[in-house]
Structure 1
Amino acid sequence: MLVGALVINVFLQHTNLSRIGFRDALLFATLTWALTGVLGAFPVMLVTGVSFTDAVFESVSALTTTGATILTGLDAMPKSFLMYRQFLQWMGGLGVVIFVVAVLPMLNVGGMRLLKAETPGPIKDDKLSPRIANTAHYLWFIYLLITLLCALAYYVGGMDAFDAIAHSLSTVSTGGFSTHDDSMWHFQSHTLLAISNLFMLLGAISFALHFRVLNGRSPRLYWRDEETRIFLLIVIGLSLLLSLYLLTKQRYGTWESLSFAAFHVVSFITSTGFGAADLASWPPASGLFLVICAYLGGCAGSTAGGNKIIRDIITFKVIRREMQQLIHPRAILPVRYQGNEVANDVRDAVMGFMSFAAGSSLVLTLLLMLTGLDFWSSFTAVAACINVLGPGFGEVGSNFIPVSDSGIWLLSGAMILGRLEYFTVLALFLPMFWRR
C-alpha cells in the first residue's frame, strides 16, 4: 500500500494535473485499483505461500471490498496478517475519496468528472459541498466515526479488542473478511449478529446522506430519502420472507429463523458477505434468494455493491410506466424520483447499466463454466465477485480454491469491473473514447 501511494505521489508530482482530462482521470482511476491490487498481493504471498495468481485475487478482493477468499486456516494465521487483510478492505471501502483528494482539485473541470466516474448511482451531479476536498475530509471523518462506534459496539457485545477492531473494519466497509474461518458464527452470539446488522446497514447507506444528517440536520432525512426508505423496507420485507421460509421448513425456531434470516439478508444485500450458518444445509431456494439480494445491492454513494437501490427503483418505475402506457397509450406518465421527474438521459443510463450488468453476469458465467465449474458454482461465483459480495454457493461456498487459475484471473477482473461499475473500465477499451 505504501509503495502504491509513493508511485501515485510521484505521478502527481511529475504530471501537469491542470491538463488531465476526463479520459486521463478514468485511466488513472482504473490503473490505480489494478496496480494497488497487484502490490497488495506480495504480503499475501510472503505470509501464506500461495501463488501470485491467488495472492492477487485475495488482494483485489480486499481492495474492492468483495471478501471472496482462497485462504483457509485463518484462525492459525498471524494476527498482523489478518489485520492487514482487514485494513485493505477498510481502505478500499472509500477508495473513491483518495481520488477526490489527490486528483479532483487539480482537474480544472469543475471537480465532478472523476467523481462521476466512481460515485455509484445514476445521479452524479449532487454536490455535497462547494469544495470537493473539504467534502472528502468530512466523508473520511464519518467513515472513521462509524468504524470506531462499530468496534466499540462489538467489544461491548462480547468480542475481544482485536476481533472488535478487525471486524469493524470489514463491517463498515461492507467487505466481509473475518479473522476466523467460521466468520461471524465463530462467536455464536445473536447479539453480535444484531450489532453487525446495524453497522452493515450504515455502511450501505449513502455517505452523502450521512454527511447531510451530521451536518446539523435532522436524522429524519434518512427516512425522507426515497432510496434509503425503500432500501430499509426491502430489507425488512425480505428478512420476514426468508424467516418464514426457514420456519416452514422447520430449520430453526421462530427467534433463530428471524435472527439468521435478517442477518444473511442484510449481509448479502449490503454485499458484506459475512456468514453465520452453513448455508449449504439450508433449503434449496434460500441460496438463489440471497443471490437476488446481492444483485439488488445497497444505496448509491455507499460502500455496498450490487446494482444499487436507486437503479432498482428507477427500473421498476420505468417498467411500471411502460405497462401503464399499454393501457393508456396517450397518457403522459413521467418517471419521478424524490418528487422530481427523471431526465431521459438518466433513465437511459440506468436501463443501459442494468442491461449490461445482466449481460456481463451471463457472459462471465459461461466463461467460468468453460474452466470446468458447474453452472450453479459458476453463476454464484460471478454474482459474488461482480457484486463485490464475497461468498458463493456450490463448489465456491466456503472459498474459491476449486477455481482454476484462468478462472481466478477472470473473477479478479470481475471484481474490479463491478467495483468501478462497468462503464468506467470498459470505456477505456473503446477507440472512440480516445479520439480527440
Structure 2
Amino acid sequence: MLLVWIMPLVIPHFIQFGIIQEITKETQYLVVANILIFFVLFTTVKVALGDYRKNFANIILIKINVGKIERRTLFLFRIWILVYLINIIFSGGLPIYWVMSGDSRTYVDFGLPTLGGLGNMIRAFVLSVCYVIYFHTESINKSKFLKIGLFLLASAFILETGRGNGVVLLLHAIAFFAFLNRVTWLGVAKVVTSVFVFMLFLGYIQMFRYGAGIESLVAYAENSGFDNQDTVSLLLIPTLLYVVAPIINIDLNVAVSPLLKFEPYYSLQGLLPTVLRQELFSGEKDYGLLVNEGHNVSSIYIPFIRDYGIIGAFIIVTFIQFIVCYVFVKARRGSLFHFFIWPPLFMSIFLSFFALFFTSLVVLLYPVLVWFFVRGLQLEKIIAGQPAQLVGSGAPHA
C-alpha cells in the first residue's frame, strides 16, 4: 500500500499548480495510518498462520495439473467470446468503430448491464491463467495461450478504447508476475521504465478516443491549469492528474465529514448487479465533493468516509487490509484457491488510490469462479523431486 499511495501523497507537496493543491494534515494522517497498520497486520497474519517457505512458487506450481488447467481455460475463453459477442450485438458495435466513424457513443456505452461485468470478470481470470500457463509451465500449447492473452488485452485497450478496463485487466496478470518472480534491481528498473512508457500509451489512448489529435490533449491540459506543454508532457498529464486528483477529492470530503457516523449507502452500491442498483439507488452517480467534474475519481476512501465518517473509513479499510494480508499469506503457503483469488485483490489494492473495487460485484464473485475452476485441478499424486510440469531454467525464484 505504501508504493501505491506514495505518489498521491508526495506529488501535491512539490507540484501545486492548476487543480493540484496541498493536502491537509487530516487526510495525510488517515492514509498514513492505514499504511502503517498494513505492515502490522501483515506481520501478525504471518505469525498466526506460520511463515511461508522461500520456494513457495514451486510449491504452488508443482501441484497444478497442466492438462486440466488448459482445458478449463479454453472453456472459459469460449464462454467469454460468447458473452462478448452478445455485448457487441446489443451495444450496436465496438467503441473503436464508433471513434473511427465519428459516432458520438463512447466506451461507457459498451456492454449490457451486469453481463458486461460478468464478461470482464471472466476475461480477467482467463488472462491471469494464460500468464501462468505461458511463463510457468511446460505446456506444449504456450503459443496458443500467449495469443489468447494478447487478444484479451487488445479487446480492452484497443477494441474498447478503455484505459480503465485495460489497466484493471492487465493488473490481474501483473499480480501473478509480482507474486511468482523474485524482486531485483534490474526488475525494478524495467518496471519503472514500463510504467513511464505505459503512461505515454494511456495519454495516446485519450487522444485517440476523443478524435481531435494532439489538440484534445492541449485542451485537457489547459482546462486543468497547465499551459505551453511539450508533447511528452501532454501525454503524461492525463495519467498524472488521475493519480493525484483522487487524494484531492478525499481531502475535500474529509473536510466536511464527521469523525464517525453510520449511514450505509454509497459503499453498498457495488454489491448489487447494475439492473438492481439502478432501481434501488439514485440514477445519477454521486461521487461526493470533487475538484471538478472531469476528475470524478473517488479512491477507496470516499464512499466509506461519506457512509461511516473518517474513523469509520479507517476501520473498514483496516478490515479490508486484513483480508488482503490473509489471502496473500495463505497463497504463499501453497493454497491453490487463495493463489488464484489473489489477482483481483492485488488489482483492488493497486488501484485503491483511484476507486473502490473491493465492494464491486465482480471482485466479490471472483472467488466463486475460482472455486469451480480449481476443483480437481491439483495433481492427485505429486512425486517428490519430479516437478515435470514446471519450466526448468525459467522457474520462478523466491
The TM-score normalised by the length of structure 1 is: 0.28
Higher relative contact order (CA 8 A, sep 6+): 2
